[in-house]
């Protein structure tokens, strides 16, 4: 994307007035998407986004500038601006020399989406629409979206790093509206991988559409969700969102450093039930949060955060790690070249336990079974978090019974982690997600087996 | 300024051949963002970005492409890509670009040279002052999670092959702090902000005090038993609720069978105290704009009057399909997105009493100062509404102990009908709705 010589000269401009660290992050992103709604292919879109962000660190201050102009002049202007922004204190002058040009990693993508005709992509949408509507006349609306993106990045810095990555992601989702005597209900299904068009070897869009439709139809007979504290069983895959919110964000070193996490200062302590081992793993090939290097050039890694209930480590980016005199854990990510990197999750999961999922439900006299989750939110300083249930049922006398309407559940991370008392043997990854933090969205994955929390507050309206 | 954005947009539109309709949307902005922490600048970002989105309608088929650059080669590529994409859209007789409708755009002056002339050192000083003011506001405030100053100078232009040619520019800036307050082992957080068109309108003192107050008043908060009660929403919470209500009133949701209120025109959908307008011509609105995202004049749209549904919002496409006129309600997420329908500046007509006066009449209630999970527990199609909440209990007309880790739930339909009073404290917030205190009866609070 950029010649090593040009990178060297740009970094030299960034360091000219004295800096502890300078970095150039260049990105070239191409994306395509197509949207069907109301029976029509409404939108076929292509996009191109290319530019570089330059970061200069002087003491405690980071200066940052970005530009869409990748010529020598454009880069020098951005480097100068970043250096000026960082110049709050004096720093030592250093000469920059990047040379170790890494061999680009071989692309693991089998079918590059850019080689697939647009008509083939559009055909997926119409097939999903037809399949959803074929489930019955109660399905009154269908929308479907196909999207792919190829993101090539280059990272070089004043420590001599010069590396690159080529990330391809493909996503498909379908949403249905069902209409009945009780009003309208919605159902959604999505699939996404860090992979090319071979995504559709694993996922049948017609099957996805039927599942989304069924979800909406089921909810037409849903009753109001209960309210108050009760046992909650979360089905396979779905529980990942729970951990993402209950403790994932709280284990990000930037929040920990500012004492904005309930998990600050708790390394080595028991923070969860002994059966809980939580891992963040950016190396899981093909998963939605997978990559070769993070957005600071550090290779993705598998990091054990909680081992048998004991907190073992936080997640780190370069800046936070440098202050602690340790290495980054490969969790420095950014939405685009227009953003500063910060600590982010990748694929966060809990491994299999040994319980049979059916036994977990049978062993629950009353409560709620959550089959599909719809995202969440956490206040890391208090640990309070919510997550939404988009498909859920009552558990009565050890059996899954009536569907219930949508709503949030609320809990407190440290409490909930110790209240996990059953883990199934049916591990699955959940739906592809976009994690938001400080205004930046990045793709993340998560997974769990079926699990039970002995008490969580269900935010419904029924007594 | 170099070449005007409107010139660029009109040049691209000029490439349209016979039977091809084109819309070009060109935008450029310059931003500064400064984060203070521990009495120093943690980060300072200066950035400019620009780009174009080209929408093409040919034989009733629509295609779109965007690029984050404005050089000649990129413009041509983007145009060609949009043209190619249009081959794959479905035929839709209502598809098209906007044409002038004779409505004169409001005369709004949203650009302040004071912002452009404001030096970086002065901006840094404001960010540092915000952190200082937040920590100084209360001895229990131990620090900030973040204290930011940010500003933007934005300009955009839209042109269509049907004769639309419009442009606008504006400045905006804000201060926002997230405080950390501690008492023994417990920590609470709170935000405070101040917004303006130029830095002279900002108050670090006020934003810091608000951030401190929101955090400290939650110290000692506990979960509460499940019950039904009256909730009093803080202005900020009301504004977020209005955003959801606005989505249910979009012509797109109505036409595509996703609106709760599709068949309710001229019917009572809310309490008689509810009068809701969407009016981006209001110069006090943070999101004020004289033109919408398709280049048509924005206008005042009365949506609900005295509880009765009066109108839906329309852009060019949905208006054609519904057989009505656009309400100037096209919105878009920058040059990377196609226009869609949305509310731009929602405002409830304020009542006559302050929040304290409203609270004084409530025996059993919850003053809600913050909500979470609006994206995960609210469904604008089914109407299900369930969000995480924190705030203060109201007992016998006064605010009492702080509450956290509870949800409040109802349905969107019922929330509007159950409104008992609108406060007098209307304020514009950094979002597409104004805040005002709102009291709503019979809401379920779920806790222990």
Residues 247-306 of A with CB under 8 A from B: 255, 258-260, 262
Q: Tell me the C-alpha distance between A370 and A355, whole Å.
A: 17
The number of residues making up chain B comes to 448
CA-wise closest residue to B418 among B269, B239, B226, B244: B269
Extended beta strands in B2-140, E state: 20-37, 40-58, 61-67
Q: Tell me the C-alpha distance between A80 and A17, whole Å.
A: 9
The answer to whether A390 and A405 have CB atoms below 8 angstroms apart is no
Q: Are residues A233 and A203 in the same domain?
A: no
Residue A26 has pLDDT above 80, yes or no: yes
Span B95-118, average pLDDT = 95
Q: Are residues A277 and A401 in the same domain?
A: yes
Nearest chain B Cα distance for residue A458, angstroms:
7
Q: Are residues A77 and A171 in the same domain?
A: yes
Span B278-294, average pLDDT = 96
What pLDDT was estimated at residue A116? 96
Using a CB-CB cut-off of 8 Å, the residues of chain B touching A341 are none
Q: Are residues A33 and A150 in the same domain?
A: yes
Q: How many CB pairs under 8 A join A and B?
A: 262
> What CATH number did the domain enclosing A139 receive?
3.30.2290.10
Residue B178's pLDDT band (boundaries 50, 70, 90)? Answer: very high
What pLDDT was estimated at residue A383? 94
Residue A208 has pLDDT above 90, yes or no: yes
Q: Tell me the C-alpha distance between B311 and A367, whole Å.
A: 43
Kindly tell me the sign of the dihedral angle through the C-alpha atoms of B93, A213, B374, A191.
negative
| Angle formed by the axes of helices B120-136 and B204-216, nearest 10° | 30
User: Cβ–Cβ of A262/B377 closer than 8 Å?
Assistant: no
What pLDDT was estimated at residue B197? 96
CA-wise closest residue to A370 among A237, A254, A258, A276: A237
The answer to whether B219 and B190 have CB atoms below 8 angstroms apart is no
Task: Please report the ipTM that was assigned to this predicted complex.
Answer: 0.92
Q: Tell me the C-alpha distance between A355 and A454, whole Å.
A: 15
What pLDDT was estimated at residue A73? 92
Picking from A68, A232, A435 by the largest number of B CB atoms within 10 A of its own CB, the best residue to mutate is A68
pLDDT, one tens digit per residue, over A220-255 is 999 999 999 999 999 998 788 899 999 999 999 999
What pLDDT was estimated at residue B48? 86
Residue A108's pLDDT band (boundaries 50, 70, 90)? Answer: confident
Nearest chain B Cα distance for residue A341, angstroms:
11
Smallest Cβ–Cβ distance between A377 and the set B258, B338, B372 belongs to B372
Residue B321 has pLDDT above 60, yes or no: yes
Residue A396 pairs with which residues in a beta bridge? A366, A399
Specify whether the backbone of B189 is left (phi greater than 0), alpha (psi in -120 to 50) or beta. beta
Q: Are residues A279 and A405 in the same domain?
A: yes
* Separation of CA A233 from chain center: 23
Domain residues for the domain of A304 are 227-459
User: Cβ–Cβ of B404/A85 closer than 8 Å?
Assistant: no
What pLDDT was estimated at residue A105? 56
Specify whether the backbone of A205 is left (phi greater than 0), alpha (psi in -120 to 50) or beta. alpha
Residue A94's pLDDT band (boundaries 50, 70, 90)? Answer: very low
Rg (CA), chain B: 24
Answer whether A71 touches B (CB < 8 Å): no
Residue B368 has pLDDT above 90, yes or no: yes
The answer to whether B411 and B385 have CB atoms below 8 angstroms apart is yes
Q: Tell me the C-alpha distance between A176 and A210, whole Å.
A: 9
Q: Are strands B40-58 and A61-67 parallel, antiparallel or unpaired?
A: parallel
Answer whether B3 touches A (CB < 8 Å): no
Q: B305 Cβ partners below 8 Å, 6+ apart?
A: B275
> Containing H/E element for A122?
helix A118-133
What pLDDT was estimated at residue A97? 55
Using a CB-CB cut-off of 8 Å, the residues of chain A touching B49 are 51, 66, 68, 338
User: Cβ–Cβ of A386/B50 closer than 8 Å?
Assistant: no
Span B345-357, average pLDDT = 98
Q: Are residues A187 and A237 in the same domain?
A: no
Residue A303 has pLDDT above 80, yes or no: yes
What pLDDT was estimated at residue A92? 42
Nearest chain A Cα distance for residue B233, angstroms:
18
Nearest chain A Cα distance for residue B36, angstroms:
9
Nearest chain A Cα distance for residue B69, angstroms:
7
Question: If DSSP codes are grouped into helix, strand and coil, which group holds residue B55?
Answer: strand
Distances (CA, A) of A453 to A261, A370, A387: 22, 11, 14
Q: Are residues A188 and A242 in the same domain?
A: no
Picking from B31, B32, B43, B135 by the largest number of A CB atoms within 10 A of its own CB, the best residue to mutate is B43
Question: If DSSP codes are grouped into helix, strand and coil, which group holds residue B16?
Answer: coil
Residue A98's pLDDT band (boundaries 50, 70, 90)? Answer: low
Q: Are residues A273 and A365 in the same domain?
A: yes
The HSE-up count of residue B157 (CA atoms within 13 Å, CB side) is 17
Backbone φ and ψ for A288, nearest 5 degrees, come out as -60, -30
Q: A114 Cβ partners below 8 Å, 6+ apart?
A: A30, A32, A148, A150
Using a CB-CB cut-off of 8 Å, the residues of chain B touching A386 are 372-373, 376-377, 387-388, 407
Span A425-450, average pLDDT = 95
Residues 11-30 of A with CB under 8 A from B: none
In CATH terms, the superfamily for domain B5-216 is PmbA/TldD superfamily (3.30.2290.10)
Answer whether B187 touches A (CB < 8 Å): yes
pLDDT, one tens digit per residue, over A29-60 is 999 999 999 999 999 999 999 999 999 999 88
CA-wise closest residue to A167 among A179, A181, A151: A151
Span B96-125, average pLDDT = 94
Nearest chain B Cα distance for residue A459, angstroms:
5
CA-wise closest residue to A379 among B139, B378, B404, B226: B404
Give the CA dihedral B241, B243, B245, B247, nearest 10 degrees: -150
CA-wise closest residue to A350 among A449, A441, A436: A449
Residue A117 has pLDDT above 50, yes or no: yes
Smallest Cβ–Cβ distance between B377 and the set A140, A381, A408 belongs to A408
pLDDT, one tens digit per residue, over A373-401 is 988 999 999 999 999 999 999 999 999 99
Specify whether the backbone of B334 is left (phi greater than 0), alpha (psi in -120 to 50) or beta. left
Question: If DSSP codes are grouped into helix, strand and coil, which group holds residue A279?
Answer: strand
What one-character DSSP code corresponds to residue A247? I
Answer whether B74 touches A (CB < 8 Å): yes
Domain end call among A194, A219, A244: A219
Domain end call among A219, A238, A273: A219
What pLDDT was estimated at residue B185? 85
Q: B293 Cβ partners below 8 Å, 6+ apart?
A: B25, B158, B315, B330, B331, B332, B339
Q: Tell me the C-alpha distance between A78 and A221, whole Å.
A: 58
Query: What are the residue ranges spanned by the domains of chain B?
Result: 5-216, 221-448
Q: Tell me the C-alpha distance between A256 and A314, whole Å.
A: 8
Q: Are residues A159 and A237 in the same domain?
A: no
Residue A95 has pLDDT above 90, yes or no: no
User: Cβ–Cβ of A45/B67 closer than 8 Å?
Assistant: no
Q: A289 Cβ partners below 8 Å, 6+ apart?
A: A194, A282, A345, A346, A347, A348, A442, A443, A444, A445, A446
Q: Could you give the percent of chain B with pLDDT greater than 70?
A: 99
Q: Are residues A155 and A234 in the same domain?
A: no
Q: Are strands A227-234 and A366-378 parallel, antiparallel or unpaired?
A: parallel
User: Cβ–Cβ of B388/A88 closer than 8 Å?
Assistant: no
Q: Are residues A214 and A274 in the same domain?
A: no
Please provide the DSSP assignment of A173-228 as one string: EEEEEEEETTEEEEEEEEEEESS-TTHHHH--HHHHHHHHHHHHHHHTTPBPPBEE
Residue A305 has pLDDT above 90, yes or no: yes
The answer to whether B278 and B81 have CB atoms below 8 angstroms apart is no
Residue A140 has pLDDT above 60, yes or no: yes
Helix, strand, coil percentages in chain A from 3-state DSSP, rounded to 5: 20, 45, 35
Residue B315 has pLDDT above 50, yes or no: yes
Domain end call among A178, A199, A219: A219
The answer to whether B193 and B174 have CB atoms below 8 angstroms apart is yes
For residue B302, the tally of other CB atoms under 10 A from its CB is 14
Span B118-133, average pLDDT = 95
Q: Tell me the C-alpha distance between A34 and B190, whole Å.
A: 40
Q: Tell me the C-alpha distance between B344 and B432, whole Å.
A: 5
pLDDT, one tens digit per residue, over B245-256 is 999 999 999 999
What pLDDT was estimated at residue B437? 98
Among chain B residues, CA nearest to A48: B67
Distances (CA, A) of A459 to A409, B33, B240: 5, 37, 19
Answer whether A123 touches B (CB < 8 Å): no
Q: A107 Cβ partners below 8 Å, 6+ apart?
A: A166, A168
Q: Tell me the C-alpha distance between B129 and A273, whole Å.
A: 44
Span B396-416, average pLDDT = 97
The number of folded domains in chain A is 2
Residue B1 has pLDDT above 90, yes or no: no
What one-character DSSP code corresponds to residue B330? E
Backbone φ and ψ for B433, nearest 5 degrees, come out as -155, 150
Q: Are residues A68 and A95 in the same domain?
A: yes
The answer to whether A87 and A65 have CB atoms below 8 angstroms apart is no
Extended beta strands in B243-383, E state: 276-279, 300-305, 308-309, 330-331, 340-341, 346-348, 364-372
CA-wise closest residue to A234 among A397, A461, A460, A424: A424
Backbone φ and ψ for A267, nearest 5 degrees, come out as -60, 135
What pLDDT was estimated at residue A102? 52
CA-wise closest residue to A326 among A336, A316, A335, A334: A316
Q: Tell me the C-alpha distance between B77 and B83, whole Å.
A: 10
């Amino acid at each position: 994307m950029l010649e090593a010589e040009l990178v060297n000269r740009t970094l030299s401009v960034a360091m000219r007035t004295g800096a502890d660290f300078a970095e150039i992050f260049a990105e070239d992103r191409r994306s395509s998407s197509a949207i069907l709604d109301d029976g029509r292919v409404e939108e076929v879109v292509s996009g191109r986004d290319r530019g570089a962000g330059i970061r200069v660190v002087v003491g405690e201050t980071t200066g940052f500038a970005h530009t869409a102009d990748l010529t020598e002049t454009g880069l020098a202007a951005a480097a100068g601006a970043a250096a000026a922004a960082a110049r709050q204190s004096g720093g030592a002058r250093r000469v920059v020399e990047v040379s170790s040009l890494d061999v680009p990693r071989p692309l693991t993508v089998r079918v590059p989406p850019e080689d697939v005709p647009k008509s083939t992509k559009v055909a997926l949408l119409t097939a999903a629409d037809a399949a959803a509507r074929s489930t019955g006349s109660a399905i009154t609306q269908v929308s479907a979206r196909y999207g792919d993106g190829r993101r090539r990045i280059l990272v070089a810095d004043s420590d001599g790093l010069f590396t690159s990555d080529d990330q391809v992601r493909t996503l498909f989702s379908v949403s249905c509206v069902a209409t009945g005597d009780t009003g309208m209900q919605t159902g959604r299904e999505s699939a996404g991988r860090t992979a090319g068009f071979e995504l559709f070897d694993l996922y049948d869009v017609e099957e996805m559409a039927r599942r989304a439709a069924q979800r909406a139809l089921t909810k037409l007979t849903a009753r109001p969700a209960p309210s108050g504290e009760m046992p909650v069983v979360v089905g396979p895959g779905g529980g990942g969102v729970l951990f993402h919110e209950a403790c994932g964000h709280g284990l990000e070193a930037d929040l920990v450093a500012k004492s904005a996490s309930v998990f600050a200062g708790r390394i080595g302590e028991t923070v969860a039930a002994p059966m809980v081992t939580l891992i963040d793993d950016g190396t899981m090939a093909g998963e939605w949060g997978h990559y070769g290097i993070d957005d600071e050039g550090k290779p993705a890694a598998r990091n054990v955060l909680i081992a048998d209930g004991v907190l073992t480590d936080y997640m780190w980016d370069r800046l936070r790690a440098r202050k602690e005199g340790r290495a980054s854990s490969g969790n420095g990510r950014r939405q685009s070249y227009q953003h500063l990197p910060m600590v982010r999750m990748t694929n966060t999961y809990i491994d299999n336990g040994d319980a049979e999922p059916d036994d977990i439900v049978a062993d629950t006299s009353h409560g709620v079974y959550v089959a599909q989750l719809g995202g969440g939110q956490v206040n890391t300083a208090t640990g309070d978090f919510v997550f939404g249930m988009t498909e859920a049922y009552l558990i009565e006398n050890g059996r899954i019974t009536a569907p219930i309407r949508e709503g949030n559940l609320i809990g407190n991370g440290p409490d909930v982690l110790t209240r996990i008392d059953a883990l199934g043997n049916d591990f699955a990854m959940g739906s592809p997600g976009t994690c938001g933090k400080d205004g930046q969205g990045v793709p993340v994955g998560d997974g769990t087996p079926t699990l039970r929390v002995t008490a969580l507050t269900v935010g419904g309206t029924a007594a | 300024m170099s070449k005007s954005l409107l010139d660029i947009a009109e040049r691209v539109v000029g490439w349209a051949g016979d039977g091809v309709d084109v819309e070009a949307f060109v935008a450029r902005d310059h931003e500064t963002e400064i984060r203070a922490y521990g009495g120093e600048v943690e980060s300072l970002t200066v950035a400019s970005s620009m780009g174009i989105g080209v929408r093409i309608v040919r034989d009733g088929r629509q295609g779109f492409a965007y690029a984050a650059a404005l050089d000649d080669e990129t413009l041509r590529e983007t145009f060609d890509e949009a043209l190619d994409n249009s081959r794959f859209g479905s035929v839709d007789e209502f598809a098209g670009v906007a044409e002038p409708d004779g409505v004169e755009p409001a005369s709004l002056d949203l650009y302040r040279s004071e912002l452009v002339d404001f030096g970086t050192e002065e901006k840094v000083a404001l960010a540092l002052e915000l952190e200082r003011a937040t920590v100084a506001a209360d001895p229990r405030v131990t620090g900030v999670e973040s204290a930011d100053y940010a500003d933007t100078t934005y300009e955009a232009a839209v042109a269509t092959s049907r004769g639309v040619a419009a442009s606008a520019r504006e400045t905006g800036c804000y201060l926002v702090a997230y405080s950390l307050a501690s008492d023994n082992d417990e920590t609470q957080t709170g935000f405070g902000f101040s917004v303006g068109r130029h830095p002279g309108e900002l108050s670090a003192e006020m934003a810091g005090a608000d951030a401190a107050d929101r955090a400290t008043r939650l110290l000692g908060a506990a979960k509460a038993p499940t019950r039904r009660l009256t909730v009093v929403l803080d202005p900020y919470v009301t504004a977020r609720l209005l955003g959801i209500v606005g989505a249910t009133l979009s012509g797109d949701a109505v036409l595509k069978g996703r609106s709760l209120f599709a068949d309710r025109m001229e019917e009572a959908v809310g309490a008689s105290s509810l009068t809701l307008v969407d009016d981006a011509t209001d110069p006090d609105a943070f999101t004020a704009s004289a033109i919408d995202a398709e280049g048509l004049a924005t206008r005042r749209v009365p949506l609900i009057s005295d509880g009765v549904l009066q109108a839906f919002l329309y852009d060019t496409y949905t208006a054609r399909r519904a057989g009505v006129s656009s309400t100037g309600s096209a919105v878009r997420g920058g040059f990377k997105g196609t226009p869609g329908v949305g509310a731009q500046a929602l405002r409830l007509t304020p009542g006559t009493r302050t929040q304290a006066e409203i609270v004084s009449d409530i025996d059993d209630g919850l003053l809600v100062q913050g909500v979470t999970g609006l994206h995960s527990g609210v469904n604008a199609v089914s109407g299900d509404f369930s969000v995480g909440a924190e705030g203060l209990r109201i007992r016998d007309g006064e605010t009492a102990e702080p509450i956290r880790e509870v949800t409040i739930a109802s349905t969107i339909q019922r929330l509007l009908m159950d409104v008992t009073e609108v406060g007098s404290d209307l304020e514009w917030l950094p979002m597409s709705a104004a805040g005002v205190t709102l009291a709503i009866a019979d809401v379920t609070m779920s806790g222990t």
